[in-house]
Amino acid sequence: MAATSRPHRQSSAASSPGSEAPAPVPVRTPGPPPKPGVAPGDALAGDEVVVTLTADQCWERLHRSRTGRIAFLDDDAIEMFPVNYIVDGRRIVFATSSRKITDALERRLPVVFEVDEHDGWTAWSVVLRGAMVSADVRESAAQRLRSMLPTHKTAHIVIEPKTVTGRLFDQVAP
């Protein structure tokens, strides 16, 4: 992290003649890219601390992660579950034994899927909004799934996204 000096702002009160100028105050300026976690094309410029990711940058991050959260509104309560997933084209595929998720699938509830990561320098978050459909277990994508729990999965599900958005955050302290 590079630091430069910027003259300290003087208060509105006039300084007395012959008084010394205040010492320079170090000001944070972004270090040279790339920082850990910042992919090519993501470099934070200037004092920018939040970068909106393109759809391609969102999908690249989804490809390198394996655990996300699926959320939906069930009656008057928001339900959220962690799931292991894989990306198949521009779809999310996961398996579950959760009755709440399979009920949401049967009721065709809209879903939100979120993945995030941080490394101490930057953080990012990708959010998909879309619909769940049943996946054929014989699909190659469904066969590649690896669960974090060795439980029998009763359903293989695909999220077909309608929107995908993401943001990258600079976490360097000011």
Each residue's pLDDT tens digit, 39-82:
555 555 455 688 999 999 999 999 999 999 999 999 889 999 99
pLDDT at 142: 61
Query: Can you list the domains of the chain with their CATH numbers?
Result: 50-170 (2.30.110.10)
pLDDT at 116: 95
| Sequence-ordered alpha helix ranges (H) in 8-153 | 55-64, 99-106, 140-143
What is the distance between the alpha carbons of residues 160 and 5, in angstroms, rounded to a whole number? 50
Amino acid identity for residue 27 in this structure? V
**pLDDT higher than 50, residue 105:** yes
pLDDT at 15: 41
Can you tell me the mean pLDDT for 14-25?
45
What is the distance between the alpha carbons of residues 73 and 100, in angstroms, rounded to a whole number? 11
Amino acid identity for residue 33 in this structure? P
Q: How confident is the model at residue 154 (pLDDT cuts 50, 70, 90)?
A: confident
pLDDT at 155: 86
More confident residue, 94 or 119: 94
Task: Give every CB contact of residue 45 below 8 A, 6+ residues apart in sequence.
Answer: 30
* Residue listed under structure tokens 């999310």: 92
**Helix and strand totals (H; E) in the chain:** 3, 9
What is the distance between the alpha carbons of residues 91 and 69, in angstroms, rounded to a whole number? 15
**pLDDT higher than 60, residue 11:** no
Is there a contact between 33 and 41 (Cβ–Cβ < 8 Å)?
no
Q: Which of 126, 134, 63 is nearest to 95 (CA)?
A: 134
**pLDDT higher than 60, residue 163:** yes
Q: How confident is the model at residue 138 (pLDDT cuts 50, 70, 90)?
A: low
Tokens of 4: 């430069």
Mean residue pLDDT across the chain: 77
More confident residue, 114 or 48: 114
